[in-house]
């Protein structure tokens, strides 16, 4: 399947069979870590009765408990409406406003409490502490600006903002009006942002002039010009670019403002000082935001999340899994540009009225002690981050946490599997043996956690995300849809058998793809309005051990999880293919000590071109322009030919094995087996010359490499 465009071919590919779904996995079972009694004593969920309340017999009404954490303008009449499967409607008939729930309703009691504490990257700059009262002011004033520009409920607006308090302010101002925000990670290129502007049909782009990253004040406005241009090429005109200034009143970018199109937000705000905008009462199923993610094809998927279901789900999971209490100081060290930040920096914690810490910069700037100094100074007691950040901080500063006086009660990890060895460091040195660790498995699509244990009720087990979350009935199915029993040592595809309030509603503009990618595989009757007939196919391989805990093995589609971020190989490859000289391109994962996986790109040139024509640089530039620096391959190998089957399919598992120094397996069925030795010599000697030595892979890593691309 080589098409990177929409259409028939692609849909087939996304729902295609995974020949390797059922594999035997053998690993050493890890020991358990029980939650400390001190934690259990204060936990939001410490009474096992909660498990009964969320048992299948009580579905879907059990989720009232989450929805009741919010204030509704109108109560719903149907908890789960399944009349148009699989486009589920949660809390149908209910009305509420997300901005009101995250801001206004806390004023009566907590007006002077910090809603956000923003830590700028330069360490000599003071934090910005934004109380609920001030957040209310700022959200209202910016909502007035948006309203003045003519924005209304249902309109889409693209945000391309860094980690500054203006980002949650912007999101909440949109939510106040029912305007659908689509925040694009600031590290993505202008081109990638433009594609998302066009896909969502946004007429407005909201950005910032500059922000700090690893000590530099980056010009970010330049990306807005590229984004507008890229959107125009796809037929979408951007009418206005609203530019927040990192230092209000002072422009920090070199790129000129475009007359008539670009406006400084601080200037617009001056006209709306003190404005109050009534929160618009939105139907529960009205879209709250879009969050784009990668899939099998080159076209990103705009995952559409609802207002009532989503907000209920992130409030409930923040309460029970992050164990957020009103007086906690909670820090999710992630970026709001990803789903983690939407759910667990902004909407979940603010819905609960807690204090959420926001950090602008990189975790190891200016050194690996930075996060621990922040935690010490602010008295952070709940800490949430990714395995990549933990691996990196462990690598560059294993002894740093011990130097600071901070104490976490709860820590979570998200986005990738965490290696047991890394887990143990996190537990001992960061948690100081006092904190529980909750490993949370979920996705952009799922809105909130799906696989994770209640921290006061379940022991932790390194390497496993734990059992299913409350009200989620997970299963592992084989290719025929038959359940694989727990403890069998066999892996398969993990599914959620039931809908839940946080599930995305559709892929923006691509409802058929929503059905074919996530439901077609295991649905036997497309007319059935019984949710039991619509298991949600997550696209991850997993295995369940005897104790019911799940271990996630990674994606079964063409997605590489780099530092916890999903990169579609088709997006990378089609970008490489845009370079004139390139005939073929294949992206493969390489196991990496810090980033989990990194990408290596193999390139074959068109006849008549030679490798010394700067192709490598051109490919790198193309990827940085189309996607962003985060997608830059670690290595680009220009090879004489790709190993292929007789039908012409590139054997990605063979090149992935070469890149990972593992056995290439059976190559007798290749059309050109002789090329494998050549590639191996070329690539492995070049890697050795760069000091990249072979490294032993765990069983699950080895499995991923050995079968990479086989599901196509």
Interface with ligand WTA (CB under 6 A): 293, 338-340, 414-417, 439-444, 465, 538-540, 552, 554-555, 561, 566
Q: Give the sign of the dihedral formed by CA 460, CA 463, CA 468, CA 470.
A: positive
Give min distance, CB of 446 to ligand WTA, in A: 8
Distance from chain centroid for Cα 414: 9
The 10 Å Cβ neighbour count of residue 1 is 15
Nearest CB to ligand WTA, comparing residues 416 and 626: 416
Rg (CA), the chain: 25
Nearest CB to ligand WTA, comparing residues 15 and 131: 15
Give min distance, CB of 417 to ligand WTA, in A: 4
Nearest CB to ligand WTA, comparing residues 218 and 469: 469
Give min distance, CB of 415 to ligand WTA, in A: 5
Distance from chain centroid for Cα 476: 22
Query: Helices (DSSP H) in 77-121: which residue ranges?
Result: 98-102, 107-110
Residues whose CB is less than 8 angstroms from the CB of residue 704 and which lie 6 or more positions away in sequence, other chains included = 553, 554, 589
| Spatial CA neighbour of 204 closest among 231, 176, 185 | 231
Give min distance, CB of 309 to ligand WTA, in A: 17
Q: How far apart are CA 139 and CA 166, in angstroms?
A: 9
What is the token pair recorded at 702? 């080895």
Residues whose CB is less than 8 angstroms from the CB of residue 535 and which lie 6 or more positions away in sequence, other chains included = 475, 477, 481, 495, 496, 497, 519, 522, 523
Nearest CB to ligand WTA, comparing residues 378 and 418: 418
Give min distance, CB of 558 to ligand WTA, in A: 12
Give min distance, CB of 207 to ligand WTA, in A: 22
What is the token pair recorded at 616? 């490598």
Give min distance, CB of 408 to ligand WTA, in A: 18
Give min distance, CB of 567 to ligand WTA, in A: 10
Do β-strands 301-306 and 355-359 pair in parallel, antiparallel, or remain unpaired? unpaired
Nearest CB to ligand WTA, comparing residues 96 and 472: 472
Nearest CB to ligand WTA, comparing residues 224 and 422: 422
Phi, psi (5° rounding) for residue 125?
-100, 140
Give min distance, CB of 367 to ligand WTA, in A: 28
The region, left, alpha or beta by phi > 0 then psi within -120 to 50, assigned to residue 467 is beta
Give min distance, CB of 422 to ligand WTA, in A: 12
**Residue whose structure tokens are 């619509």:** 534
**Residue whose structure tokens are 């990496």:** 592
Give min distance, CB of 537 to ligand WTA, in A: 11
The kind and range of the H/E element at 243 are: strand 240-244
Q: How far apart are CA 650 and CA 642, in angstroms?
A: 6
Give min distance, CB of 695 to ligand WTA, in A: 20
Nearest CB to ligand WTA, comparing residues 285 and 419: 419
What is the token pair recorded at 144? 């007035």
Nearest CB to ligand WTA, comparing residues 140 and 293: 293
Class of residue 321 by CB neighbours under 10 A (exposed 0-12, middle 13-18, buried 19+): buried
The answer to whether the bond into 366 is cis (omega within 30° of 0) is yes
Nearest CB to ligand WTA, comparing residues 120 and 502: 502
What is the token pair recorded at 387? 């395995």
Give min distance, CB of 280 to ligand WTA, in A: 29
Nearest CB to ligand WTA, comparing residues 85 and 539: 539
Nearest CB to ligand WTA, comparing residues 443 and 498: 443
Q: How far apart are CA 570 and CA 599, in angstroms?
A: 12
User: Quick check: 504 and 292 in contact, CB under 8 A?
Assistant: no
Largest CA distance in the chain: 74
Nearest CB to ligand WTA, comparing residues 380 and 552: 552
Nearest CB to ligand WTA, comparing residues 308 and 502: 502
Nearest CB to ligand WTA, comparing residues 241 and 435: 435
Residues whose CB is less than 8 angstroms from the CB of residue 368 and which lie 6 or more positions away in sequence, other chains included = 393, 396, 397, 400
| Spatial CA neighbour of 458 closest among 469, 445, 474, 448 | 469
Q: Helices (H) and strands (E) in the chain — how many of each?
A: 23, 31
Residue whose C-beta lies closest to ligand WTA: 444
Give min distance, CB of 486 to ligand WTA, in A: 18
Q: How far apart are CA 135 and CA 132, in angstroms?
A: 5
Give min distance, CB of 442 to ligand WTA, in A: 5
User: Quick check: 384 and 336 in contact, CB under 8 A?
Assistant: no
Phi, psi (5° rounding) for residue 536?
-85, 120
Give min distance, CB of 441 to ligand WTA, in A: 4
Torsion, Cα 456 460 466 468, to 10 degrees, reads -10
Do β-strands 301-306 and 506-507 pair in parallel, antiparallel, or remain unpaired? antiparallel
Give min distance, CB of 340 to ligand WTA, in A: 5
User: Quick check: 618 and 625 in contact, CB under 8 A?
Assistant: no
Class of residue 530 by CB neighbours under 10 A (exposed 0-12, middle 13-18, buried 19+): exposed
Treating both helix axes as pointing N-terminal to C-terminal, what angle do 569-577 and 615-626 enclose, rounded to 10 degrees? 130
Give min distance, CB of 77 to ligand WTA, in A: 32
Nearest CB to ligand WTA, comparing residues 101 and 317: 317
Nearest CB to ligand WTA, comparing residues 321 and 338: 338
Nearest CB to ligand WTA, comparing residues 208 and 567: 567
Nearest CB to ligand WTA, comparing residues 211 and 423: 423
Q: Given 3-state DSSP classes, what are the helix, strand and coil percentages for the chain, each rounded to the nearest 5? A: 30, 25, 45
């Amino acid at each position: 399947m080589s098409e990177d465009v929409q259409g028939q071919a692609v849909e087939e590919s996304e729902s295609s069979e995974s020949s390797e779904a059922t594999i035997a996995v053998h690993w050493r079972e890890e020991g358990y870590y029980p939650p400390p009694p001190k934690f259990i004593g204060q936990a939001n969920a410490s009474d096992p009765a909660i498990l009964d309340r969320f048992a299948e017999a009580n579905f879907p009404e059990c989720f009232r408990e989450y929805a009741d954490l919010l204030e509704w303008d109108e109560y719903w009449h149907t908890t789960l409406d399944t009349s148009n499967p699989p486009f589920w409607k949660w809390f149908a008939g209910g009305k509420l406003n997300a901005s009101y729930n995250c801001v206004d309703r806390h004023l009566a009691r907590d007006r002077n409490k910090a809603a956000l504490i923003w830590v700028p990257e330069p360490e000599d700059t003071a934090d910005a502490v934004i109380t609920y009262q001030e957040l209310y002011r700022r959200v209202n004033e910016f909502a007035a600006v948006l309203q003045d520009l003519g924005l209304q409920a249902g309109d889409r607006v693209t945000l391309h903002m860094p980690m500054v308090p203006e980002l949650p302010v912007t999101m909440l101002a949109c939510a106040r009006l029912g305007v659908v925000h689509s925040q694009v990670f600031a590290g993505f290129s202008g081109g990638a942002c433009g594609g998302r502007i066009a896909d969502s049909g946004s007429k407005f782009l909201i950005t910032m002039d500059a922000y700090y990253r690893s000590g530099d004040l980056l010009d970010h406005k330049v990306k807005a010009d590229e984004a507008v241009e890229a959107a125009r090429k796809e037929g979408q005109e951007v009418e206005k670019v609203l530019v927040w200034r990192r230092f209000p009143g002072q422009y920090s970018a070199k790129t000129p403002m475009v007359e008539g199109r670009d406006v400084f937000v601080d200037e617009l705000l001056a006209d709306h000082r003190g404005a109050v905008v009534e929160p618009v009462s939105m139907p529960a199923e009205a879209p709250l935001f879009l969050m784009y993610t990668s899939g099998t094809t080159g076209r990103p998927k705009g995952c559409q999340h609802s207002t009532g279901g989503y907000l209920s789900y992130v409030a409930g999971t923040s309460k029970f899994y992050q164990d957020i209490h009103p007086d906690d100081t909670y820090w999710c060290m992630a970026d709001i540009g990803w789903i983690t930040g939407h759910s667990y920096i902004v909407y979940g914690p603010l819905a609960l009225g807690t204090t959420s810490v926001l950090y602008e910069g990189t975790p190891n700037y200016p050194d690996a002690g930075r996060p621990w100094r922040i935690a010490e100074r602010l008295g952070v007691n709940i800490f949430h981050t990714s395995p990549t950040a933990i691996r990196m901080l462990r690598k560059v500063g294993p002894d740093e946490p011990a130097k600071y006086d901070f104490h976490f009660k709860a820590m979570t990890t998200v986005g990738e599997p965490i290696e047991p060895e890394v887990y143990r460091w996190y537990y001992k040195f960061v948690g100081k043996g006092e904190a529980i660790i909750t490993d949370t498995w979920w996705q952009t699509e799922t809105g909130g956690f799906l696989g994770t244990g209640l921290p006061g009720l379940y022991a932790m087990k390194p390497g496993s995300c734990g059992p299913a979350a409350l009200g989620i009935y997970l299963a592992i199915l084989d290719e025929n849809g038959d359940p694989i029993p727990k403890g069998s040592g066999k892996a398969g595809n993990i599914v959620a058998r039931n809908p839940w309030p946080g599930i995305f509603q559709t892929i923006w503009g691509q409802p058929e793809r929503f059905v074919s990618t996530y439901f077609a595989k295991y649905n036997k009757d497309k007319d059935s309005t019984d949710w039991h007939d619509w298991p949600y196919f997550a696209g991850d391989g997993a295995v369940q051990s005897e104790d019911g805990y799940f271990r996630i093995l990674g994606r079964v589609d063409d997605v590489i999880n780099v530092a916890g971020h999903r990169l579609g190989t088709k997006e990378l490859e089609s970008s490489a293919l845009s370079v004139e000289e390139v005939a073929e391109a294949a992206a493969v994962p390489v196991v990496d000590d810090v980033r989990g996986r990194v990408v290596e790109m193999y390139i074959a040139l068109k006849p008549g071109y030679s490798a010394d024509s700067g192709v490598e640089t051109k490919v790198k530039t193309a990827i940085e322009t189309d996607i962003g620096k985060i997608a830059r391959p670690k290595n680009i190998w220009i090879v004489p030919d790709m190993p292929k089957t007789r039908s012409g399919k590139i054997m990605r598992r063979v090149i992935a094995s070469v890149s990972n120094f593992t056995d290439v397996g059976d190559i007798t069925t290749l059309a050109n087996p002789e090329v494998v030795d050549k590639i191996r010599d070329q690539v492995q000697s070049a890697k050795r010359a760069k000091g990249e030595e072979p490294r032993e892979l765990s069983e699950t890593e080895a499995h991923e490499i050995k079968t990479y691309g086989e599901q196509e």
